[in-house]
């Protein structure tokens, strides 16, 4: 058996096409396109890549995307002051502060910044007010990655109602909101983490298994019930040739990619899981494109809400 591949790139492209006429209609009514402000502090390589993708996708969708850069030496007070300016700006309907912030700002800096974002512009869904609305099943702007997973499952006709869903990872950004969204779609949800006993056995009970822990190829076939749907949220960059050779057969196209680039982006799910699962999301080309598509959708929703006030 070989798992059905859930093509996040194709689904995200369909969502962007669906958004295009709505963005154009908003722009005609408002006399301006929906506006997204992105705050990038420092020059962390992964963040630079993510932000470039968001800039490109937003511009192609007809949004006005405004990248606000601050140096890595910026203080937390400077970031908060910039967020305040964007909160007050009539041109910025959505605000996104790229995580992580420089470590020198301290471990609680990101949460302070998320707390400062106007909930009506919180396109990442990380503000406490946004989280509270999500818990009560009345979100306006839900976190993009978990929302993207729900869209993938729904459009791929993966039944959530009545399903046993297991999430590996309890982060505020993915694990916890993922649990809430699946619960609101009537799944029975278990969250696993580093202290979970018999983790593989718990995971193997799932009809829907979501891996979101950030450890390359951690989820092996023993974690997966035959026929289950496996959603791989993890992204890790592997540069060790021995690790690539351990994961992929000599004739795998992924080996060729490694030889060309010297590194490989992999997920939390081991490649061998595809022989056990009923459906699986790839890395790359799975959850990642969906996250950006849902960011665009949230920005349009924020703009529409702002225009109606």
Give the active site residues: 54, 98, 124
How many CB atoms within 10 Å of residue 5?
15
For residue 263, CA distances in Å to 105, 166, 244, 256, 286 come to 30, 30, 9, 10, 19
CA quadruple 57, 144, 12, 279: dihedral sign = positive
For residue 57, CA distances in Å to 284, 286, 292, 300 come to 17, 16, 7, 13
């Amino acid at each position: 058996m070989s798992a059905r591949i859930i093509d996040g790139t194709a689904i995200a492209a369909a969502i962007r096409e669906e958004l295009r006429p709505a963005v154009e209609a908003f722009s005609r009514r408002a006399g301006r396109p929906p506006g997204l402000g992105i705050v990038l502090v420092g020059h962390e390589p992964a963040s630079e890549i993510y932000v470039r993708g968001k800039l490109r996708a937003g511009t192609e969708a007809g949004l006005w995307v405004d990248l606000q850069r601050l140096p890595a030496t910026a203080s937390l007070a400077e970031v908060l002051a910039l967020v305040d300016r964007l909160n007050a700006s009539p041109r910025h309907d959505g605000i996104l502060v790229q995580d992580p912030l420089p470590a020198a700002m301290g471990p609680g800096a990101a949460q302070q910044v998320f707390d400062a974002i106007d909930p009506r512009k919180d396109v990442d869904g990380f503000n406490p007010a946004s989280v509270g609305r999500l818990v009560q099943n009345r979100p306006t702007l839900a976190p993009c990655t978990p929302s993207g997973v729900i869209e993938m499952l729904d459009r791929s006709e993966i039944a959530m109602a009545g399903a046993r869903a297991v999430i590996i990872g309890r982060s505020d950004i993915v694990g916890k909101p993922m649990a809430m969204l699946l619960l609101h779609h009537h799944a029975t949800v278990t969250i696993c983490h580093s202290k979970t006993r018999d983790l593989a056995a718990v995971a193997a009970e799932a009809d829907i298994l979501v891996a979101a822990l950030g450890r390359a190829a951690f989820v092996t076939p023993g974690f997966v019930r035959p026929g289950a749907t496996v959603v791989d949220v993890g992204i890790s960059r592997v540069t060790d040739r021995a690790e690539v050779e351990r994961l992929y057969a000599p004739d795998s196209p992924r080996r060729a990619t490694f030889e060309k680039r010297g590194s490989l982006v992999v997920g939390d799910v081991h490649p061998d899981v595809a022989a056990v699962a009923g459906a699986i999301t790839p890395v790359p080309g799975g959850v990642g494109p969906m996250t950006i598509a849902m960011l665009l959708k949230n920005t349009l929703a924020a703009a529409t809400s702002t225009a109606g006030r």
